[in-house]
Amino acid sequence: MLGVPKSNNQNPKTIAVGPHPPKIPFLGSYAASEYHGCNLKHYFGTDGIRGVAGEPPLDPTTVFAIGVALGDYLNRNGHRRVVLGEDTRESSRWIADTLAASLTSRGVAFAEAGIIPTPGVAYLARGQDFAAGVMNSASHNPFQDNGIKIFDHSGLKLPDAVEAELEGEITRLRSAMPPSAVHATAPDPKLHESYLAYLAACLAGVDFSGMKVVVDCANGAASAVAEELFRKLGFVPVMMHASPNGRNINAGCGALHPQAMAAEVVASGAVAGVAFDGDADRAILADAAGGLVDGDRVLLIAARALQRSGRLEPPVVVGTVMTNLGLELALNREGIRLERTPVGDKYVLERMQASGARLGGEQSGHVIFGADATTGDGLLTALRTFEVMAQTGRPLAELSAGFLACPQVLLNIRVREKVPIERLDGVRRLIERAEAELQSTGRVLVRYSGTEKLARVMVEAESSSAVEAHARAIAEALRAAIGE
């Protein structure tokens, strides 16, 4: 039996952020909450399978069953080789080894990329040698958590239908215990080199020489690649939180806690800075004065640059239900339409493909450059933004001029179960009251997280006092009804 560290994550994350989106009917809020994990799937959420490492669904038995189910699926479709990647959590190694053993038991070969950003695995999966990519990471979650993200040969996250097929197999296979022997192998350095060469090629011809930037790796996957990449491109990087120890990933640093990065930008005299999350698929930036630049502002900067160069065709940017109304208004003034999806870069990409949009992303810092990648890539997001600075000669603070964010409050409530919101009468009445008061000047969105046992309450409006009062009232009602 594998030795697995067990721990409990009892610290709900509650944050307040500052941007706003258009009026969406109350029933739309219901649809969003149910779409995002209200008992639709048992294992897969909006970003793969996630949980506390060592506990279901990330106990050794289930992890082994996941690998077997994936191996059987690949065999049925004539594919026989997988690339494996991981972040810096102490649990990532045994999860990768267990997956390697289960894939091998089904005759599926694998190559290990070792510690690498999630978008690196997505990129490598698109290569001719691999049928799929599997990344072990819980992204921005604390070290106790982990996850399994699966990409197909196109570098895309699995469609819902395939996830549903795998879920049935995983449930059936869980009765088989994993073997005691695992297949530990050394990472192939050529896989890292391939990913870094791809990123460098995306920025070919851009002069970053001497550009001083602060880089916060969140003690996560970016620690293995960021400094080498930035130096290769000519930057002068000031590295932060790039010494992972298995437990310090995302701990008071990175994209969830970018204040230290922003302060270092000012202290070091850098022109800008970037903070990644644990698996480096998202990026939060800071300008020279320490002002934070979130995903919404990055989308505006990128959209303007693509439009100037004639590469934003059709003139569409894809956001989510969390995207601030300020971005939509700023884009509209420049003849660019914003389309919205449920939360999750998987759904953003699906809409991009359906509409032909070349740019999409989330306020949290997941940004997808459709001409370059099939998923959010924090390294690419930072480089594309710094590219605009280099080419225009303008400081980062000026590039998102015209973006006026409406007050927005996001509260996270840890819940014991995900009951459809419409069945919680007290919560429903408070949402209806808030929407009646805000009318066309604001918006209320209540949904469940697809990756954690959390209910998320978002309220935004022109009045910050109204936003705060309504959000807290709804959050308290949720806590009373289904809180842990």
Distance of alpha carbon 389 from the chain centroid: 24
Mean pLDDT by 10 residues, the chain (484 residues): 30 28 28 36 85 94 94 88 97 94 92 97 91 96 97 91 93 74 78 97 96 98 98 98 98 97 98 98 98 97 97 97 88 95 90 96 96 96 98 97 89 95 95 89 86 90 84 96 95
> How confident is the model at residue 473, as a pLDDT?
96
Sequence letter at residue 249:
I
> How confident is the model at residue 50, as a pLDDT?
93
> How confident is the model at residue 461, as a pLDDT?
84
Q: At what angle do helices 378-392 and 118-125 cross, to 10 degrees?
A: 100
Q: At what angle do helices 92-105 and 60-76 cross, to 10 degrees?
A: 40
Q: Which residues contact 219 (CB under 8 A, 6 or more apart)?
A: 88, 241, 242, 243, 244, 245, 248, 249, 250, 251, 253, 254, 278
Residue 286 has phi, psi (to 5 degrees) of -140, 145
- Sheet containing 236-240: give its strands across: 236-240, 212-216, 272-276, 283-287, 292-293
Please, how many CA atoms are within 13 Å of residue 294, restricted to the half-sphere of its CB? 20
β 283-287/316-320 pair status: unpaired
Tokens encoding 350? 């699906």
> How confident is the model at residue 248, as a pLDDT?
98
Residues with a catalytic annotation lie at 139
CA–CA distance, 297 with 274 (Å, rounded to integer): 14
Taking the alpha carbons at both ends of the chain, their separation in whole angstroms is 32
Question: If you search the block for the tokens 């989308």, which residue do you land on?
Answer: 299
CA–CA distance, 225 with 413 (Å, rounded to integer): 35
> How confident is the model at residue 182, as a pLDDT?
63
C-alpha radius of gyration, the chain, whole number: 22
Which residues sit opposite 136 in a β-bridge?
86, 148
Residue 440: in which H helix or E strand, if any? none
> How confident is the model at residue 167, as a pLDDT?
93
> How confident is the model at residue 436, as a pLDDT?
92
Q: How far is CA 467 from CA 182, 352, 411, 454, 472, in A?
A: 52, 31, 11, 20, 9
